[in-house]
Amino acid sequence: MNEQATYSGLRSFLQLPAKLDNGGTPDVTLVGIPFDLGTTNRPGCRFGPAGIRDASLMLIDGDHPEMRVNPMDGLSCIDSGDLDVACGYLDQSLELIEKQVSKIDSHLVAMGGDHTVTLPILRGRAERNGKGLSLVHIDAHVDTWPDTFGGPVGHGTPFHYAAQEGLIDPMRSIQIGIRSPVDNDVMDYTRDELGFTVITAEDVHTGGVDVVVEAIKKAVGDNAAYLTFDIDGIDPSQAPGTGTPEVGGIFTWQALAIMKKLGSLNWVGMDMVEVAPAYDHAQITSLAAATFIWTYLCMLAVRKDK
Ligand SMILES: [Mn+2]
């Protein structure tokens, strides 16, 4: 039992410490990345880490009801705070993020920040995690707009660059929840040229959770897998606090049901991006994001248990 009330105290994720008491290397390091210079529509997800940390306090005092673990029992976890960014400077911020994540010597879970941040994360972690990762990508958007179609690096382009740089292997990657307006040539490029498996939000609703889980396992196999979770993959009725909402999305229960069946994948990291608390209502978006991270950590805790 916590002596401190769950809703009080310093706002780290799950009230985790910034360092382990014994000074050792934790199993998992959480960081915030307060960066939203890559947004194309409504900004504000620089406040995502703060919103997620605040909402995470709901999840402190219990185990996952089915996995029967909680992250703090199964793993040594820290929340080491926010990374430095170069406020107002996009390119320099990406370089700073890459440099800082490259120095973290444990499994990394990042709280964004807009989706641009996944690119420097993948770059900075390539030495540790390898290249050619399987991306498990929950999002309303494909985020593979190539530079040749106009525009600089931003939150719509990270997986174009990640694919070009060999950081991910699109042939062994999968996108879930896709539904935004998108140029036909970008959609063709994503699916036919790069080779992503693309599951629309409607596919999730009509096909059901188990069909999606099988598709993810088939695409990824035993390759090292990275989960990048854009909160706008969730329907705006359940996650309104984001910069580029798209109607017709997947529901929080579906995302949770899918995630908890993916414990057997060879996970090497996760990020949770695009939470913009200023557009949220009653903290539901931040709570959803915190719960997805908590569920991911529970999966890791189960794996360590075995
Ligand atoms: Mn998105």
pLDDT at 7 over 90: no
**Given pLDDT bands bounded at 50, 70 and 90, which one contains residue 146?**
confident
Residue 36 to residue 145: CA distance in whole angstroms:
18
CA 141 / ligand 1 centre spacing (Å):
4
Return the percentage of the chain with pLDDT > 90, whole number: 91
Q: Is the pLDDT at 117 greater than 90, yes or no?
A: yes
150 CB neighbour count, 10 Å cutoff: 7
Q: Mean pLDDT score of the chain, rounded to an integer?
A: 95
Q: How many angstroms is it from 216 CA to the middle of ligand 1? A: 19
Q: Which residue has the tokens 């991910």?
A: 168
CA-based radius of gyration for the chain: 18
| pLDDT-based confidence at residue 125 (cuts at 50, 70, 90) | very high
pLDDT confidence tier of residue 10, bands split at 50, 70 and 90? confident
How many CB atoms are located within 10 Å of the residue 31 CB?
24
Using 50, 70 and 90 to split pLDDT, how confident is the model at 5? confident
Residues belonging to the chain? 306
Check if the beta carbon of residue 50 is closer than 8 Å to that of residue 278: no
Cα 139 to ligand 1 centre (Å): 5
User: Ligand 1: distance of its center to the CA of 243 in Å?
Assistant: 8
Q: What is the pLDDT of residues 195-249, one digit of tens each?
A: 999 999 999 999 999 999 999 999 999 999 999 999 999 999 999 999 999 999 9
pLDDT of residue 283: 97
Ligand 1 centroid–CA 86 distance in Å is: 23
Residue 76 has pLDDT above 90, yes or no: yes
Q: What is the percent of the chain with per-residue pLDDT over 70, rounded to a whole number?
A: 97
Q: What is the mean pLDDT of residues 56-76?
A: 91
The pLDDT value given to residue 150: 56
- Strands 224-230 and 266-273 come out as parallel
pLDDT at res. 268: 98
Distance CA 247, CA 250 (A): 9
Q: Please indicate whether residue 147 or residue 144 has the higher confidence score (pLDDT).
A: 144
Are 251 and 235 in contact by the 8 Å Cβ rule? The answer is yes
pLDDT at residue 152, rounded to an integer: 77
pLDDT at 149: 53
* Residue range 256-291, pLDDT digits in tens: 999 999 999 999 999 999 999 999 999 999 999 999
| Domain chopping of the chain, boundaries | 13-305
d(CA 69, CA 67): 6
Q: Is 241 left (phi over 0), alpha (psi -120 to 50) or beta?
A: beta
State pLDDT tens for residues 16-28: 999 999 989 999 9
Centroid of ligand 1 to alpha carbon of 72 (angstroms): 30
**209 CA distance to ligand 1 middle (Å):** 20
CATH architecture for residues 13-305: 3-Layer(aba) Sandwich (3.40)
Local structure of 234: helix, strand or coil: strand
> For 37-62, what is the mean pLDDT?
95
**Which residue in the block uniquely carries the two structure tokens 């998992």?**
28
Q: Burial letters for 58-96: b for 16+ Cβ neighbours within 10 Å, e otherwise?
A: bbbeeebeebebbbbebbbbbbbebbebeeeebeebbeb
Q: How far apart are CA 95 and CA 203, in angstroms?
A: 37
Q: Could you tell me which residues come within 8 angstroms of residue 248 by beta carbon, excluding any fewer than 6 positions away?
A: 179, 201, 202, 235
Which residue in 138, 148, 143, 85 sits closest to 119, CA to CA? 143
Task: Please tell me the predicted confidence (pLDDT) of residue 151.
Answer: 62
Compute the distance from residue 136 Cα to the ligand 1 centre, in Å: 14
Q: How far apart are CA 288 and CA 281, in angstroms?
A: 12
